Structure 1
Amino acid sequence: MHQRRCLQLAAACWISGFSNSVLQSTWTLQMPRCGHRKVDHFFCEVPALLKLSCADTTANEAELFFISVLFLLIPVTLILISYAFIVQAVLRIRSAEGRRKAFGTCGSHLIVVVLFYGTAIYMYLQPPSPASKDRGKMVSLFYGIITPMLNPLIYTLRNKELILLTLLYDVEQ
């Protein structure tokens, strides 16, 4: 990938994420609040703040659902498709040791993807219900704290193996 394309993709991610945050926060904070209620959540996320409103939040919830599909389902689908291509490439590696290392590296990356997207999808794309209130708090810890803490460990420890694996694959070709 050319450096310019990489910068464009990174800029698109930053700009769309920032724009989404500003819009969601602005719309949510403009909703009227009912008295002096507390946010019953670990984080001041949009769904938790919408529960504090006295007004009808149907439009905000629909918009949040649409944005969640856009920012969660589309990327995770593209990631899973790319992993299918990676699996095809790994299966073409001749040595069993090379395949084992590749699957180990990809497997750890895939675990982080599933932890992050799985919990975020569960949190933002489930229908609202009073029974899911406490579960939502715990689930938000995974995509908000646990997964980001695991990322540096997995990506730094496994990248050395990935570089060696790439060199091994190039030598076998």
Structure 2
Amino acid sequence: MAESWDPKTRDAVKKIPLLTEKSGPRDKQKWQDRLKQELHALITYIKMNKESDMDWFTIQPNADGTHWKGKCWYVHELIKYEFDFQFDIPATYPETAPEIEIPELDGKTAKMYRGGKICLTIHFKPLWSKNSPHFGVAHALCLGLAPWLAAEIPFMVESGVIKPKV
């Protein structure tokens, strides 16, 4: 599948550190070790984006790293569209990928379900399963949220479903 990715995506994924700790939030002690790896990978990805002038999100976990919130944006025809996003780390993480939500877009595209969760079933979830436990939050953003925004935001703008915020 990596062969079908565009070169920027392929290069980005290669640079995001893979995670080695296999624990999720149910194992409190080992979860802290995993969370450190998650944050390291995320910091690496954010730095990489800023250095390449491709900054497109901010993110912050809660104190125990089980709920994450942030802002993401996509520029279409020189207009910036910005959205709040969030997700919870599933109890079965890292075997199960997080389900990323953009609540304000709920019901505005067929590629979304249950309260604003973006649809990642066909393309991303099999990739996550194949690469678990080595993928983490940074990979979910790079290979899940980013391509979803790139595909859906132009479609929603062109169909008049979303408008620029003034």
Same fold (TM over 0.5): no
Q: Which has the larger helix fraction?
A: 1
Normalised TM-score (structure 2): 0.32
Normalised TM-score (structure 1): 0.31
Tell which structure's C-alpha radius of gyration is larger. 1
Q: Which has the larger strand fraction?
A: 2
